[in-house]
Structure 1
Amino acid sequence: MGQRKQQTLSRKNWMAFTGLFLCLYLVIHLAGNLQLFLPEERAHRQFNLYSHILSGNLIIKAISYILFASIIGHVVYAIIITVANNRARKVRYYYDRRGTASKWYSRNMGLLGTIIFIFLVMHLRDFWYVYKFGQLPMDADGHKDLYVLVVGVYSELWYVILYVICMIALCYHLLHGFFSAARTLGLYHPRYAQAIRIFGWVFSIVICTGFAAMPLYVYCLK
């Protein structure tokens, strides 16, 4: 029993570490993509230059491997923990009161995570894969014209709607994940629990609103 608890704790720690690393990546990714809100001509040149610099930087390439490993690890550990919890739950109660003790998004992390994962696969296919292996035109500076690709994809209303829905799912996923990681790592102390709660809400809303605003802005602009 003790060994099983230790394994569960270890898995939760890895979930917390990978999740926090992914949160850090979201901040960096959003900061770079904010260039899309610049005036069109300036956004076109700077966004392509930014993408070109990232694609040729050895440090960024190393971080990208860590990123992909973190995504895979986060998903795998989430599945393992979910399966283990379901197997351990031998007693089924006829009347379930969990809804009065926990938020709905805490009880539906599997669904939210699945939505985010499917969106992530689509997102990587539509942008990262095309940029790396597709045939993109060159801009006036001789860089791959990722900006044109982004504008083309975000000009599709169905994609914009899907993007916004997925950002809402991500927001709720971040809310639960942030608080869960804080508890797992022993950071959720009563003295500053309120501060952590406020920071978690602000972080989740700002990040997801920022990402959701990008396709809406491009679609309305075009």
Structure 2
Amino acid sequence: MLSTLSRKILMCATGLFLSFFLLIHFLGNLQLFLPQEQAHLQFNAYSHFLSGNIIIKIVSYVLYTSIIVHAVDGLIITLRNRKSGGNYRTDNRKRASTWASRNMGILGTLILIFLVIHFQNFWYVYKFGNLPLDDNGNKDLYILVITVFKEWWYVLIYVASMIALCYHLIHGIQSAVRTLGVFHPKFVRWFKNAGIAYSLIICCGFALMPIYIFFTNR
């Protein structure tokens, strides 16, 4: 059985990998902001390339494993902390901690629920659904994205999930680098500001995508 420290290190490592993957996913999805005709074919070609690349497939398996390990480790650590009485509600450390740090379990659960919905709406349909083909013969994922993001309720869920993700990232990045021993006192403010900036850019960027599509495809 892994110790709590080992689980924290593993959770930090998977969390940092997931944070890096978010950046790659974000950069790829920026194509949705291109003019509609260009975005249509280019986004589908990009999706086709990812689905047929063996290296990307290997990375995707690492991604799925990281999500599961990160979620399970977070749950186990939270339960252990509560069992030992080491949570913020009983030790009156609220003044020395942030709201996000006290609610990482709740934030993580909300993000996990969103991921299940997100995978079902996009990944599952792309892999196993009967999507039409675009003019270049690629599966028309772009049309699926447009169709889903035309639903106001899904846009609200997406934006709310990005807010939860932002809080989760802000605390998670700082906690990860501290746990891994690279949080040198001389660079505390730099790490904090860099983590906040990264979290805001990624999450605001993702949140703007469904909003942009919703209002430009009426």
Pick the TM interval, shorter chain.
over 0.9
- Distance in 2, matches of 1:82 and 1:144, equals 41
**Paired residue for 1:103?**
98
Secondary structure of 1:144's counterpart equals coil
Contact kept? 2:174, 2:192, Cα under 8 Å: yes
Task: Give the direction of change, closer, same or farther, for the CA distance of 1:48–1:90 in structure 2 (3 Å limit).
Answer: closer
What TM-score does the superposition give when structure 1 sets the normalisation length? 0.94
TM-score, scaled to structure 2: 0.96
1:203 aligned onto 2:203: no
> Shift of residue 131 of structure 1?
0.1
CA displacement at 1:90 relative to structure 2: 7.8
- Where in structure 1 are there 5+ consecutive unaligned residues? none
Corresponding residue to 1:35 among 31, 45, 51: 31
**Which among 210, 217, 220 is matched to residue 215 of structure 2?**
220
Q: Deviations over 1:82-116 (max 9, x none)?
A: 1111111189987x632211111111111111110
Residue identity opposite 2:58 in structure 1: A
For 1:11, the aligned partner's letter is R
- Equivalent residue number for residue 10 of structure 2: 14
Structure 1's 144 and 20: CA in aligned 2 closer, same or farther, altered over 3 A? same
Q: 1:57 aligns with which of 53, 56, 60?
A: 53
Q: Which amino acid aligns with 1:159?
A: Y
Aligned length: 217
**1:187–1:11 CA distance, 2 compared to 1 (3 A):** same
Q: CA RMSD in A?
A: 1.7
Q: Return closer, same or farther for 1:75/1:126 CA change in 2, 3 Å cut-off.
A: same
What percentage of aligned pairs have identical amino acids?
Answer: 56
Match of 2:42 among 46, 56, 62: 46
Supply the distance in 1 between the matched residues of 2:88 and 2:211 (Cα, whole angstroms): 45
